[in-house]
Structure 1
Amino acid sequence: MSDTTRLKHEVPRHQVLIAGAISGLLSRFVVAPLDVIKIRLQLQSHSLSDPLSHRGVIGPTYKGAFGTLKHILRDEGVSALWKGNVPAEFLYLMYGAVQFLAYRQASALVSGLDLPSSATSFVSGASAGICATTATYPLDLLRTRFAAQGQDRIYPSILRSVHQIYTSEGVGGFYRGIGAGISQVVPYMGLFFAIYGSTQPYLVSSSLPLSSIGSPDAVAGVIASVCSKTVVFPLDTVRKRLQVQGPERMRYVHRNIPLYEGGVAKTLQNILKVEGVRGLYRGLTVGLLKAAPASAVTMWTYERVLAEFERCATL
């Protein structure tokens, strides 16, 4: 069975669930520090290039990925790089399982429509992204809020955070910014699986010397992730800004997070007006650095687990 075939609906459901869950769990462990750095940069609404924009700011002022890393290590310690890791591990565990299961089911549904393979991958990937994002969004919001905490701990534990958000913001508090999440994941997952589905078979059959940089699965995952992430990154920034809205907005590490009202479109417009295009791409570099190993580990692990299932079945 080829690697591409393993992504399709012929693979048993329980194998897809296990492989997706394991791949998500391992990829999160690898990129946790990069995720915290990216979130901190995305939430910074002031710019070092304009001294007036951060005059009087109480919270930290970050400059670049390495500057942010040094700042966090100096002020908060090494453990701060894993803030939000517990909800994030559950997020990646569930997201990976739901994503690949939904992709399998969607592929089975559209396989009879006689669509081009790239179109099938796009539709299946987008559907998988919507299902996984909706199912796991509260965990995503908790991950962002924990990562945004400075030395002043707003949420001392997972249970406390759930209780506090539900009490002060209601059920809707767990879904702040979900519109941006859905708007982001449709093109991202569609593009990711379309690019991966067309790139991976080419790399497998090509004579390119890939052994020094990774397997064809990992390289295809990196290419697909970098391209897709760059396209949708502004929506990711909007999602992060909306996730930290609420009664605790001014208590996060950045003390001047703006108030955004009116949903995704108005938040996007507000950031463009106040911060320019550059404001939508804060943290892009570290986001790509994060996306590449995360996707490579995800796809490599997913393929290896399924290959192991297949090997065991032939014994």
Structure 2
Amino acid sequence: MSGEVVQLKHEGSQLQVVVAGAIAGVVSRFVIAPLDVIKIRLQLQVHSLSDPLSTRGFEGTIGTFRSILRDEGFTGLWKGNVPAELMYLCYGGVQFSTYKYTSTLLETLPSPYELPGSAVSFISGATAGACATTATYPLDLLRTRFAAQGTERVYTSLGASIRHIAKHEGPTAFFRGLGAGVSQIVPYMGLFFASYEALKPAMANSPLALPFGGSDAAAGIIASVCAKTAVYPLDTTRKRLQVQGPMRSKYAHRNIPMYSGVIGTLATISKREGMRGLYRGLTVSLVKAAPAASVTMWTYERAIAGMLMLEDKAAAE
């Protein structure tokens, strides 16, 4: 790399992009797992505007953290980590490879159909997000259900959860809330990659030089925080829909209402809990977004650089 600002979509072969994306996803997931569990618990916490006493369970980020440690132990902060690691492994590979393929395809459009760089980044990011979300959604749903478990074990194992959902809720249950997921991820990933591509050269050429690839991490943080805030209500909607089903009353928060559909869920939360309900857990989500994005992009860039270095050495021998 030697100081050059190389655009993400031009780095490495398709296989190298898949491998680097998968590595970045796995590393990032393990680092931010505790924050993810806390965020999910907060998103599932229901508080009715008409009943001030309706809030049960956990109150706030610190309260949630302390309650999990007290009642479930340190390992409770990594609940759902197995399906989540599998999800991030697959998600990272699909996301980055789709992004590279789509952006390369769009850049070959003949005149007068060429698109500006920002549009290419946005469309490629949105497409990558939609494909990765759909491909890994069953694992995302399982991650949410395991993270929602309190002291009572709703599912004894990953295999048991798959069999139980398939038997009692049907195969389509694995995609419950997918509409909200895709509706969220398309603008999120589009905004994220467009912002990242624009910020990356600016951060690399900043008068305040950041060591150890810090410019990649900084660009990832800023891009992720902005995009996350814009689409957060859809993330809350997705989480509420993912825990619907016959086991709903057995999770850590036992007062989760019945919801149906993306629009209906958004409307119900807004009516019963106000706008605050749609943004419950946003603070910890933003705290999570910063290290998640920075670790993901930093790991991705380092993995690509390492593979390109090995490739150059092998070619020189």
With normalisation by structure 1, the TM-score equals 0.94
> 1:225 matched to which residue of 2?
224
Counterpart for residue 27 of structure 1 = 28
- How far apart in 1 are the matches of 2:306 and 2:243? 41
1:310 has 2:308 as partner: yes
Aligned pairs for 1:32-47 within 5 A: 32-46=33-47
CA distance in 2, matches of 1:158, 1:169: 16
Structure 1 segment 110-129 matched on structure 2, within 5 A: 110-113=106-109, 114-129=114-129
Q: Which amino acid aligns with 2:302?
A: R
1:83 corresponds in structure 2 to 79
The yes-or-no answer on 1:189 pairing with 2:185 is no
Distance in 2, matches of 1:166 and 1:304, equals: 40
What is the CA–CA distance in structure 1 between the aligned matches of 2:126 and 2:161, rounded to whole Å? 31
Deviation at 1:22, TM superposition (A): 0.4
Residue 3 of structure 1: CA displacement? 4.8
Q: Is the 8 A contact 1:3 1:303 kept in 2?
A: no
Residues 162-181 of structure 1: matches in 2 within 5 Å? 162-181=162-181
- Aligned equivalent of 1:4: 6
Partners of 1:47 and 1:295 lie apart in 2 by: 33
Match of 2:281 among 264, 283, 297: 283
Structure 1 residue ranges without an equivalent (≥5): none
> 2:49·2:274 contact (CA, 8 Å) conserved in 1?
no
- Tell me the amino acid that sits aligned with residue 86 of structure 2: F
Match of 1:13 in 2: 14
Q: Secondary structure at the match of 2:107?
A: helix
Cα 1:155–1:3 change in 2 (3 A) is farther
**Superposition pairs for residues 246-257 of structure 1, below 5 Å?**
246-257=245-256
Unaligned runs of 5+ in 2: none
**Given that residues 49 and 272 in structure 2 are in contact (C-alpha distance below 8 angstroms), is that contact kept between their aligned partners in structure 1?**
no
- The answer as to whether partners of 2:12 and 2:308 remain within 8 angstroms in 1 is no
Number of equivalent positions: 307
Q: Report if aligned partners of 1:225, 1:295 keep a CA contact under 8 Å in 2.
A: yes
Runs of 4 or more, structure 1, over 6 Å off, are none
Q: Distance in 1 between the 2:245 and 2:23 partners?
A: 34
Partner amino acid, structure 2, of 1:243: Q
In 1, are the aligned partners of 2:11 and 2:304 still within 8 Å (CA)? no
| 1:50 CA drift (Å) | 5.8
* Structure 1 residue 154 corresponds to structure 2 residue 150: no
Aligned residues of 1:9 and 1:105 also touching (Cα < 8 A): no
Rounded to whole Å, the distance in 1 between the matches of 2:90 and 2:215 is 26
Question: Secondary structure at 1:276's aligned position in 2?
Answer: helix
Using the TM superposition, give the Cα deviation of residue 119 of structure 1 relative to its aligned residue in structure 2, in angstroms.
0.7
Q: Structure 2: how far apart are the matches of 1:71 and 1:170?
A: 33
1:9 Cα deviation from its structure 2 partner: 4.9
Counterpart residue type for residue 122 of structure 1? F
Deviation of residue 142 (structure 1)?
0.1
Aligned-pair identity (%): 63
Shift of 1:48: 10
Cα shift readout 1:273-311 (whole Å, capped 9, x = no counterpart): 000000001100100111110110100010011111121
SS of equivalent residue, structure 1 residue 120: helix
